[in-house]
Structure 1
Amino acid sequence: MASLFAIESDDLFTMQLEDLLEVQVDIASKTPETIASAPSTITIFNEKSIQLLGVESAYELMNFVPGMHSTRGDWVGAVPKDHARGVYLDSGNILVMINGERINESSFGKASVYMPFIPIEVIDKVEFIRGPGSALYGSNAFLGVMNIITKHTDNTLAAMTGTHGKYGVSASVSKQLTDDLMGFVSIAINQKEGENYPQGVKDPLQSVYFEFGLDIAELELRGRYNQVELDEFINLAGYSKQNQHNSENSFVSLAYSVIKNATTELATKIAYSDHKIASAGLILAGADNPKASEDFLLGPDWQTTDLNIDIDYSHHFNNDWVINAGYEYANSKQISADVRSNYYDQVSGEIIVEQPYYLGAITTIKGYAAFKNLKATFETHSLYSQLKLPLSHQFTLFVGGRYDDVKHIDSKLSPRIAAIYQPSLANTVKLQYGESFRTPVTNELYSNDDVTIGNTNLKSEYVKTTELVWRYQAEQWHFNTVFFHNQLNDFIITVPHASNTNMFTFENQLNDTNRGIEVDTQWHIAPDFSLTGTYTQYFDQPMNPTFKRFASFLASFEMTPMMYSVNTIWRDEVNVTGHDLSKFSQPSYLLFGATISYELTERSNIALKADNLFDKQYNSFDPRVGNGAVAGVSREISLHYRLKF
């Protein structure tokens, strides 16, 4: 059920019950729905609620979504790692989209590898599905979906400066040129030097985001480019000043509405995206290597492309039944799979970590033989259909599903059904069932290096999810409760290789059950004062150690020309002892944030934001780091200015 972060009006605190029930949500189905009628468990943040939370990147919003949160992990340490409903495997179990276009790609499956920083300055709204989404969106819409909707109609300028050498500038411009011609452009540049960590590194950031669009009658042209550089900190589980990470993501699409009237829509779209990554992380310190004196760093220099063709159809019948259907063709290619290393033997074509083969610097090695099989193609044909059946004024049924055929790999049918009963204006009850899947990526299928050997017989992971939802909406407060039951099947894990116990391969071996409760609530104490909270509790042990309980809280107060907010993230303790890991222990902790905004004029404001206000020192757990500990971000303070014109 949608959180009241979902309110799209600028007047966040004064909407009445009837208004709240008409708030439109888009991600849960192919037709606009209200909070009450959406056939999924969803949470939505509009521009104002994002400003209240004081976050800098879209991924940080996960920490305020029941059942989800993000932390830093091993590779790359400053890249956000998503946790969802007790699963922390960092393998692309959440689908991330920008304006409905998927970012997850075929080499790693994780959107954050190629777009680890999506600045909030370009964002209009962010929608989350908490739970299965493959019935509409296919692979990776496994335990959740995040759809980032960017600004297309704003005219704003913004600037920011902060601690740790942080600064940023952004602009969004749109113009209705004629009745049938509209264009927009957005750009955001962000940079920080990073803080100093005891391991002798910083966590610097350089990011550029650019987007444009042109609407010509029923034709839509869209383009996007994002580049992010994250050096030092952790890469491949080692802290080093020599660590490098650079990612690029570009996208262009052309869409055309063939039919668009009061009852019927038929639209087509062709989209092309290109993903590049050049990375290298510390594998072995020179001090620990008897055969060489220089540190050994290694990483990928990979490029993948995606071509998508979509046809979407919808029809609204006279009895208010609605049918949606569509076809999607996807062609995903890994067109390069090179390696970056500072050790290499030109004669044998192998990486040999001995002093005679030291290259003097990290170098891209083209045509690396061990990565040859990674240059693969995924060709997918998909069909989906959904039927909305308003059987009475109080009862609505959604029935649908999607069939995905990934050539030479796997085929999956992802059904879903949602029964929505609204006995009164204030009460809504939903019973929802859905199945979702994640297709194995090239690394799992075709890797061949000194650590892992791929398995071409892998099948898709899949999950069966049942949810019982109850929402109560009074005039001044609301309360949502979601009970979920996940049956996880054929999860891919690493196991010792049959012919070489010093190496690993991948197998569909893990089946598990995860159950829990998610709660979110908001109380309008006064027209200008509001409290919002979320809480998640898992009943079963999470897959890989992660937080079993966590919560968030937001208090906001508005008295023109001032607006104040305080937010809190609480995470339960994590204690881990493993045969190859020293004991990791992180007590439960609270992280506080605060925002103070002052309206200079009707069109401009300044804001002071603080993250980790009390400078809490904490670690996140990652199983592939030597002692399990990944350092958290310390206090950050920033000053923001925004002008609307």
Structure 2
Amino acid sequence: MKISSLIISILCASAFNSMAFQVKNNIDYLFNLSLEELLKVKVTGSTLTPKELKIVPSAVTMFTHQEINNLGLDTLDELMNLVPGFQSYRSSISSIDYPFSSRGRRIGNPGSEILILVDGTRLAEPRTSGSILIVPKYPLVQIERVEFIRGPGSAVYGSNAMMGVINIITRSNVNEMNVSYGFFNRRKGHLLTSKKIGGVTVDFFGYIDMDEGDNYRVEDTFSVNRIGTEDPRDLANLNMKLQWQDTFLNLQHSQYKVEDFYSFDNLSNGFNEESARLTIFSLKQDFDWRAIESYIRLDYARSRFTTSQQLSAPGTFAAISSPASDDALFGIADFNDNTETRILWNNDWGIKPQSSLQFGIELRHIHIPESFFENNFDVGDLTSGIIPIRYYGSLLATTLIQAASKRDIVGLYGQYQHQLFENTHLTLGLRHDDFSSIGSQLSPRFGFSAQSNFTRAFKRWTGTTPHQYRGRSQ
């Protein structure tokens, strides 16, 4: 894995820089705040603007880096189980997939109904618009603050926010390195470094996590016997941020590879394998015009997901294949070169000290090429009921499993926020999304919050249609 080797080299080289260990966390101030002051910590993911936790029109749980560090957790899926309304669990899809859900509802394995944002960029596979299959173990050490927003958010973000939003803000201006070794020959390390080169500020994050897996004794999928298996894995993450005045560049890359164990409910040591990679490039330009603060963002994402699996026991198709063969059915699915381009123009107009208007437009173009299934028995014959089933003797890409497709999404949104009284706030919002070849979706928003005293507050948020906030998953 080339990215893993690069990160390892950087970690080793940085070990000689003693300054990397002299770090002062820039959120230590939170531990000196009173409970009342903590409620005034700003949340940005709910309204696209910094608002105090007690007045945002959403149910929000927030964790800071120091809080996460004190919990001793490694990845985002682990943290989800400490969030009211969120659930995450291991599945037999593969050894590394941890599907998650919000409020007990999950529509599909990719997790496309919960939107994950990293510094404003969608963290999702273009093919499925979900993150579970492509970035299953997001490292917490990179996170400065994370906001878990329960309930629909499509009135703000459009599609893929039907059941919730996870808004991640990554760490900056940090110099830190850590290398560890543990059970199962686990090697883990990360590097955070920040430099200023001329007028450009550069923040770099590199992360690796590799182990040989645990030993399991489980029932064989294709026989009555019990067999041994392992779940080794290699993961790597990279995040580089550059800022020059009001211009921001960001490169994110994530990849992993796992072997053996389960693959889509089946065991096959030596053949089962899953790998994925996601690369996202972002460009953001801030600018102001009178009382309006605006930015334009351009995101480009490319992904690849590959899975190898055994689908039948040996001899299953011996009597109905041509030529006849006792081989098991093996297959490899490679979903490569899936891309998404996104352009976002967002505006925040401070009309008065007590009121503001947010509005903008979002354009997304998704391109999915055709993909074929490499199989030794023709899966197309099998699914079509064609007998005899053609047997090839080796893995050939003969079965189309994903047709080429394109989709354009245009979203227009507006949101009005007004402070009615000192402790009373009103939020009104509306978003219209148009999906090519599918149709359109209108997502309204109404939010009201009032605080009678320090210990008591009332919030109400809803929509005016049965499918409030709902956007269509891709």
Distance (Å, rounded) in 1 between the aligned partners of 2:353 and 2:87: 41
**1:276-329 alpha-carbon deviations (Å, 9 max, x no partner):** 111122311215554543332334211310000110111112242010001010
Aligned CA distance change for structure 1 residues 129 and 260 (closer, same or farther; 3 Å): farther
- The reply to whether residue 392 of structure 1 matches residue 421 of structure 2 is yes
Asked if structure 1 preserves the Cα contact closer than 8 Å seen for 2:237 and 2:255, the reply is: yes
Per the alignment, residue 435 of structure 2 pairs with 406
Shift of 1:80: 1.1
TM-score, normalised on structure 1? 0.62
| Aligned residue identity for 1:426 | T
Asked if structure 2 preserves the Cα contact closer than 8 Å seen for 1:297 and 1:342, the reply is: yes
**1:600-645 alpha-carbon deviations (Å, 9 max, x no partner):** xxxxxxxxxxxxxxxxxxxxxxxxxxxxxxxxxxxxxxxxxxxxxx
Shift of 1:122: 2.1
Per the alignment, residue 131 of structure 1 pairs with 151
Distance (Å, rounded) in 1 between the aligned partners of 2:190 and 2:166: 23
- The reply to whether residue 331 of structure 1 matches residue 365 of structure 2 is yes
Per the alignment, residue 371 of structure 1 pairs with 401
RMSD: 2.7
Q: Which secondary structure state, in structure 2, belongs to the residue aligned with residue 391 of structure 1?
A: strand
**1:143-184 alpha-carbon deviations (Å, 9 max, x no partner):** 111122222221110112211221111101112334x42111
Distance (Å, rounded) in 1 between the aligned partners of 2:462 and 2:103: 16
Per the alignment, residue 150 of structure 1 pairs with 170
Distance (Å, rounded) in 2 between the aligned partners of 1:390 and 1:335: 49
Distance (Å, rounded) in 2 between the aligned partners of 1:388 and 1:105: 33
Percent identity over the alignment?
A: 25
| Aligned residue identity for 2:364 | A
The runs of 5 or more residues in structure 2 that have no matched partner are: 1-25, 219-227, 320-324
The runs of 5 or more residues in structure 1 that have no matched partner are: 1-7, 442-645
| Aligned residue identity for 1:331 | H
Shift of 1:369: 5.4
Asked if structure 2 preserves the Cα contact closer than 8 Å seen for 1:301 and 1:364, the reply is: no
Distance (Å, rounded) in 1 between the aligned partners of 2:75 and 2:145: 12
Aligned CA distance change for structure 1 residues 11 and 296 (closer, same or farther; 3 Å): farther
Aligned with 1:238 (options 266, 276, 285): 266
Distance (Å, rounded) in 2 between the aligned partners of 1:385 and 1:310: 13
- The reply to whether residue 436 of structure 1 matches residue 469 of structure 2 is yes
Distance (Å, rounded) in 1 between the aligned partners of 2:129 and 2:438: 15
Aligned CA distance change for structure 1 residues 387 and 152 (closer, same or farther; 3 Å): same
Per the alignment, residue 128 of structure 2 pairs with 108
- The reply to whether residue 38 of structure 1 matches residue 50 of structure 2 is no
Distance (Å, rounded) in 1 between the aligned partners of 2:245 and 2:79: 35
Shift of 1:11: 5.5
Aligned CA distance change for structure 1 residues 36 and 364 (closer, same or farther; 3 Å): farther
Asked if structure 1 preserves the Cα contact closer than 8 Å seen for 2:126 and 2:301, the reply is: no
Per the alignment, residue 248 of structure 1 pairs with 277
Asked if structure 2 preserves the Cα contact closer than 8 Å seen for 1:345 and 1:352, the reply is: no
- The reply to whether residue 220 of structure 1 matches residue 220 of structure 2 is no
Aligned CA distance change for structure 1 residues 364 and 64 (closer, same or farther; 3 Å): farther
Per the alignment, residue 212 of structure 2 pairs with 193
Asked if structure 1 preserves the Cα contact closer than 8 Å seen for 2:126 and 2:302, the reply is: no
Shift of 1:47: 0.9
Per the alignment, residue 90 of structure 1 pairs with 108
Aligned with 1:302 (options 304, 317, 335): 335
Distance (Å, rounded) in 1 between the aligned partners of 2:197 and 2:388: 61
| Aligned residue identity for 1:160 | S
Distance (Å, rounded) in 1 between the aligned partners of 2:179 and 2:32: 30
Aligned CA distance change for structure 1 residues 255 and 109 (closer, same or farther; 3 Å): closer
**1:50-102 alpha-carbon deviations (Å, 9 max, x no partner):** 11222211121110110111112232342110122121333422112222211
Distance (Å, rounded) in 1 between the aligned partners of 2:459 and 2:181: 45
Distance (Å, rounded) in 1 between the aligned partners of 2:93 and 2:379: 26
Aligned CA distance change for structure 1 residues 52 and 295 (closer, same or farther; 3 Å): farther
Shift of 1:335: 2.2
Distance (Å, rounded) in 2 between the aligned partners of 1:347 and 1:290: 15
Q: In proportion to residue count, which structure has more strand? A: 1
| Aligned residue identity for 1:324 | Q
Shift of 1:402: 1.3
Per the alignment, residue 412 of structure 2 pairs with 383
Shift of 1:440: 4.7
Aligned CA distance change for structure 1 residues 130 and 408 (closer, same or farther; 3 Å): same
Aligned with 2:84 (options 66, 73, 90): 66
**1:385-421 alpha-carbon deviations (Å, 9 max, x no partner):** 1100111112110000211101111211111111001
Per the alignment, residue 204 of structure 1 pairs with 232
Per the alignment, residue 267 of structure 1 pairs with 295
Aligned with 1:285 (options 309, 313, 323): 313
Shift of 1:232: 1.6
Per the alignment, residue 166 of structure 1 pairs with 186
Shift of 1:243: 0.9
Asked if structure 2 preserves the Cα contact closer than 8 Å seen for 1:69 and 1:83, the reply is: yes
Aligned with 1:23 (options 38, 41, 59): 41
Shift of 1:437: 2.6
Aligned CA distance change for structure 1 residues 369 and 240 (closer, same or farther; 3 Å): closer
Distance (Å, rounded) in 1 between the aligned partners of 2:316 and 2:153: 46
Per the alignment, residue 79 of structure 1 pairs with 97
Asked if structure 2 preserves the Cα contact closer than 8 Å seen for 1:239 and 1:282, the reply is: yes
Distance (Å, rounded) in 1 between the aligned partners of 2:278 and 2:131: 10
Alignment of 1:499-538 (within 5 A): none
Q: Which secondary structure state, in structure 2, belongs to the residue aligned with residue 28 of structure 1?
A: coil
Distance (Å, rounded) in 2 between the aligned partners of 1:311 and 1:271: 12
Q: Which secondary structure state, in structure 2, belongs to the residue aligned with residue 80 of structure 1?
A: coil
Distance (Å, rounded) in 2 between the aligned partners of 1:87 and 1:346: 33
Distance (Å, rounded) in 1 between the aligned partners of 2:87 and 2:298: 33
Shift of 1:113: 0.8
Shift of 1:192: 1.1
Aligned CA distance change for structure 1 residues 426 and 346 (closer, same or farther; 3 Å): closer
Distance (Å, rounded) in 1 between the aligned partners of 2:137 and 2:125: 16
Shift of 1:338: 2.5
Asked if structure 1 preserves the Cα contact closer than 8 Å seen for 2:331 and 2:375, the reply is: yes
Distance (Å, rounded) in 2 between the aligned partners of 1:354 and 1:331: 39
Shift of 1:340: 3.4
| Aligned residue identity for 2:268 | S
Aligned with 2:392 (options 349, 357, 369): 357
Distance (Å, rounded) in 1 between the aligned partners of 2:332 and 2:445: 40
**1:493-548 alpha-carbon deviations (Å, 9 max, x no partner):** xxxxxxxxxxxxxxxxxxxxxxxxxxxxxxxxxxxxxxxxxxxxxxxxxxxxxxxx
Shift of 1:137: 1.2
Asked if structure 2 preserves the Cα contact closer than 8 Å seen for 1:42 and 1:128, the reply is: yes
